[in-house]
């Protein structure tokens, strides 16, 4: 069986603590009451894989599971989402876990931990790569992401990405993939430019392909060649923003697989990401293709796309 997408990267169990007030400050208001405690599943690449599967793509996931109960929870969620996990590894270590504080407005603060023993063998990665049409990586394990990107590009495959951490390897990872997709804050930290267009233009020397960044409720932006596009976000009642960026990336990957233009990809991905914000959790929030199409049809006014002449 061949795959439309091979996702290489992290999975996670998320302990979500819904608190009763705005996000507490460690100095001004260091205490907050917990309204509800939930155990949900996600992780950057695992969520992308489930979301792509929900959009109708054939998907495989290559990552490292731990040996505890949490690992079983994520594995089962991926299998239920029709994602092939046979190229993953089970390691004698705790599974990756995150604790997420979620306030009534849907804002979140994430605390996470990942054992260095969670490693995916290169042989498993190589076996999956021969069956993939495209690859997605995250930067939770930069060494793994770089190796996956190298192997994919040797086969002429598109490599999308989730780049959100600023490390000594970040610029090398940007150069290694074919479609860098940045977290909203990272381009400014890398470039010193707070304006999205100026930031992406300053990062252009690192990669000649489309540079994309999420902008939260404001939507997303991309630099395609020398043309800058800004796509407005969709207005929704936010329950939880966990996983929204991952679902956006799944929408981007889906549009890329269809050969759509950058503006159409951004609009579709924004709709998918917005829908995920209306539900709790990461993998639990992924929308179907029918739901995204319906949201696009019922949008009051088409997202405003502003190509630079």
131 contacts 2 by C-beta, under 8 angstroms: yes
Has residue 101 got a pLDDT over 90? Answer: no
What's the mean pLDDT when you consider all of the chain? Answer: 92
For the residues 1-26, what does the mean pLDDT come to?
Answer: 85
Has residue 26 got a pLDDT over 80? Answer: no
Cα–Cα nearest to 214, from 243, 237, 240, 193: 243
What CA dihedral angle connects 6, 8, 10 and 13, to 10 degrees?
20
For residue 138, give Cα distances in angstroms to 30, 60, 103.
32, 15, 26
Alpha-helix runs per DSSP H in the chain: 44-54, 69-80, 122-129, 142-154, 170-176, 186-191, 196-203, 244-257, 262-276, 289-297
The predicted-structure confidence for 65-91, as pLDDT tens digits, reads as follows 999 999 999 999 999 999 999 999 999
Strand partners, 281: none
Geometric angle at alpha carbon 92, from 80 and 61, rounded to 5°: 35
Which residue has better confidence, 98 or 25? 98
* Gap between the terminal Cα atoms of the chain: 44
pTM here is 0.91
Domains of the chain in start order, with CATH, are: 5-297 (3.40.1190.20)
Q: What per-residue confidence (pLDDT) applies to 43?
A: 95
For the residues 26-48, what does the mean pLDDT come to?
Answer: 84
Which residues, at least 6 apart from 189, have a Cβ–Cβ distance to it below 8 Å? 166
Place of tokens 């002429």: 156
Angle in degrees, 0-180, between the axes of helices 44-54 and 69-80, rounded to the nearest 10: 20
For the residues 137-150, what does the mean pLDDT come to?
Answer: 95
CA 152 to chain CA mean position, Å: 19
Q: How many helices and strands (H and E) does the chain possess?
A: 10, 15
Strands 181-182 and 211-214: parallel
70 contacts 10 by C-beta, under 8 angstroms: no
């Amino acid at each position: 069986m061949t795959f439309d997408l091979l996702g290489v990267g992290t999975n996670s169990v998320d302990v979500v603590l819904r608190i009763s007030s705005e996000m507490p400050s460690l100095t001004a208001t260091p205490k907050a009451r917990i309204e509800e405690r939930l155990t949900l599943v996600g992780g950057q690449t695992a969520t992308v894989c489930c979301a792509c599967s929900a959009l109708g793509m054939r998907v495989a996931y290559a990552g490292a599971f731990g040996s505890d109960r949490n690992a079983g929870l994520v594995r089962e969620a991926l299998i239920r989402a029709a994602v092939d996990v046979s190229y993953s590894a089970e390691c004698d270590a705790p599974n990756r876990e995150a604790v997420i504080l979620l306030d009534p407005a849907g804002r979140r603060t994430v605390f996470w931990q990942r054992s260095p023993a969670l490693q995916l063998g290169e042989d498993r990665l190589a076996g999956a790569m021969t069956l993939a049409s495209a690859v997605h990586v995250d930067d939770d394990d930069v060494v793994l992401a770089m190796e996956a990107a190298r192997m994919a590009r040797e086969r002429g495959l598109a490599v999308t990405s989730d780049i959100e951490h600023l490390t000594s390897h970040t610029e090398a990872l940007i150069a290694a993939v074919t479609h860098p997709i940045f977290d909203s804050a990272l381009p400014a930290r890398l470039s010193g430019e707070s304006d999205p267009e100026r930031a992406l233009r300053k990062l252009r020397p690192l990669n000649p392909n489309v540079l994309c960044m999420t902008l939260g409720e404001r939507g997303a932006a991309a630099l395609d060649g020398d043309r800058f596009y800004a796509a407005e976000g969709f207005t929704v009642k936010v329950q939880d923003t966990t996983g929204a960026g991952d679902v956006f990336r799944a929408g981007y990957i889906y549009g890329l697989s269809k050969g759509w233009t950058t503006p159409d990809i951004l609009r579709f991905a924004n709709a998918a990401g917005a829908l995920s914000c209306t539900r709790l959790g990461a993998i639990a929030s992924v929308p179907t293709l029918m739901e995204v199409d319906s949201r696009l049809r019922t949008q009051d006014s088409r997202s405003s796309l502003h190509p630079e002449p």
